[in-house]
Chain A
C-alpha cells in the first residue's frame, strides 16, 4: 500500500517529518535488496555519480534524481558509453538537500556481437569529492538478447 507522504503543501517542519519518514520507509526497501543506501558526509564535498557499463557491451542509460518528499525530478540525464569520459554527473547543491533523494538509473544494454556466455554489467559509482563512497551494480547473462537492468539507491546522511 503506497504511503501518502509526498505532499508539497506542508509547512517546513511537517515537510521535514515526511522527509524523515520517506527516508525511513526507503530503508525498509533496502531489505528487499534492490534499494541501497548511500551514506555521505554533510558538510562535505560535492556528490558525484559515475555510470559504468562493463563487459565491452553497448549501453544507453537515463539517470534521474528524485526529490525525497515529492514526485519532483531534480536531475534528469541521458547518455551512453560511446564516450565514457562524460558519464559522470555532479549532484545539485546545496549538499544537505540530497538527503533522502532517490537515484534511479535505467539501462538498455545490447551486445555488439552476441556470443554464448556473454555477460552484462552495469554500475553506479558514488563519489564525494575524490573519495568513493559506494557503488550499486548488477550483472548477469545476456542470453543473446538486449537487457534492461535498472539500479536504485537512496542518498542519506549518517
Chain B
C-alpha cells in the first residue's frame, strides 16, 4: 500500500516539479545542486550522458557477460553504461557483517563503485568517447550496519522470524526426509502454502524491523560522511579505439558532512573539472565550492546554502534558503529560494522545486 501511494505521489508530483524547473530562466540552480553529491556513476556524469540501460552486474558471471559482449562484437557498443562494486562482485559472498563492522578497509572496498561509459557516433569514423569513474565512501558513520543497538534489535527480531518460519514449514512439510522425496510439484505446492502462512505470521515482526530502521535512520541522519569520486574521459576517432585514446576531461568530487549536535549538519562540497582546450593542453578549469547548513531532523529539515562556481571563466555566486521534506516512504520534496549573481549580470531572485526518490 505504501509503495502504491509513493508511486502515485511520484507520478503526480514529478511532472509538476518538472514544469516548475522548466520555468526557470537559468539552469544554474540545477547545476549547482549537483555539487552536494558525489555522483553514483562518475563515468556517466563526466560524459554528460543519461544512460537508459545501465548494467549493474553483481556477480562475476554477470560482469563477464557485460564485458565480453563488446569484445564479441569486435568494437565498443554505441552506448555502454556499466556500474559495479569490484569487491562485491569478487568477494561479497564471503564478507560477513562482523568483518564489515570491524574493518574500515572492508567498508571502503564494499562501497567502492567502478563505472564505465562509452558513447560512439552513429557513422564510421565518428569520435568515440570513453570514460572511467570511481566512487569511494571514505567515512560513513551514519551507516546503519555500524549502529550496534539497532543491529542487536534486528538480530533479535530476525531470530524470532526464523523460529516462526521453521515451525510453520515443519507443520506443512512434516519431517524433512519424507518431504524431500516428494515430487517437485508437491514440494512447491506445500512450500507455497507455508510461505503464505509465514508471511501472515511474521508481518508484525517485519513491521518492527522497518520501524527500528526508521528510528536508527533518525538517530544517525547527521553523522559524519566523507565521499570522493573521480572520473577520466578520453576520445578516439577510431571506433575501436585501437589508434589511441586521447584524454579529454577529468573531474573530481569531494563531499564531507559533519554533525552539529543532534539538530544540524554542515555539508561541504568541492567539485573540479579539467578540460583539454583547443590548443591541446589541460588548461580549462571549472569548479565549485559549496556549503550547506541543515537544521532539523532526517525527514524534515531546513537549510542555508552558499556556493561559488566558476564555469568557462564566469563566476557564479548563489545564496539560498530552503527545506527538504520526506512526503511518504521514498518520495522527497525540496524547495529553495534565494539570489544568484552570474558574472557582471545584475543580482537575480531564483527559486527551485524538486521531487526525488530516495531509499526507504
Contact = CB atoms under 8 A, between A and B. Distances in A.
5 contacts: A53-B96, A80-B158, A102-B177, A110-B161, A117-B58
A70 B177 contact: yes
B177 A61 contact: no
A41 B127 CA distance: 62
A10 to B, nearest CB: 15
A148 B143 contact: no
Contact of B154 (A70, A107, A112, A117): A112
A34 B198 CA distance: 22
Q: Most chain-A Cβ atoms within 10 A of its Cβ — which of B56, B151, B175?
A: B175
A96 to B, nearest CB: 19
B56 A112 contact: no
Nearest to B195: A148
A112 B98 contact: no
Contact of B96 (A56, A64, A113): A56
Given A71-B175, A117-B56, A107 B162 contact: yes
B93 A57 contact: no
Contact of B181 (A2, A108, A152): A2
A53 B97 contact: yes
A58 B159 CA distance: 10
Interface of B: 56, 58-59, 88, 92-100, 110, 143-145, 150-152, 154-155, 158-159, 161-163, 165-166, 169, 174-178, 180-184, 195, 198, 202, 206, 209, 213, 359-360
Interface in A93-145: 102, 104, 106-108, 110, 112-117, 119, 121, 123, 137, 139, 141, 144
B161 A66 contact: no
Contacts of A35: 180
B221 to A, nearest CB: 13
Q: Most chain-A Cβ atoms within 10 A of its Cβ — which of B88, B96, B143?
A: B96
Given A81-B98, A146-B206, A148-B165, A112 B180 contact: no
Given A58-B154, A80-B158, A113 B93 contact: no
A91 interface: no
A143 to B, nearest CB: 12
Interface string A46-84: 000000111111111110101110110000001011111
A153 to B, nearest CB: 11
B96 A104 contact: no
B68 to A, nearest CB: 21
Interface of A: 1-3, 6, 22, 25-26, 29, 32, 35, 52-62, 64, 66-68, 70-71, 78, 80-84, 102, 104, 106-108, 110, 112-117, 119, 121, 123, 137, 139, 141, 144, 146, 148, 152
Q: Most chain-B Cβ atoms within 10 A of its Cβ — which of A54, A81, A114, A116?
A: A54
Contacts of B95: 54-56
B96 A52 contact: yes
B181 A106 contact: no
B177 A146 contact: no
A108 B213 contact: no
B91 to A, nearest CB: 9
Contacts of B100: 56
B170 to A, nearest CB: 10
B180 A29 contact: yes
Contacts of A2: 178, 181-182
A35 to B, nearest CB: 7
A144 B2 CA distance: 14
Given A71-B178, A106-B166, 5 more contacts: A2-B182, A84-B98, A102-B176, A119-B88, A148-B195
A117 B89 CA distance: 12
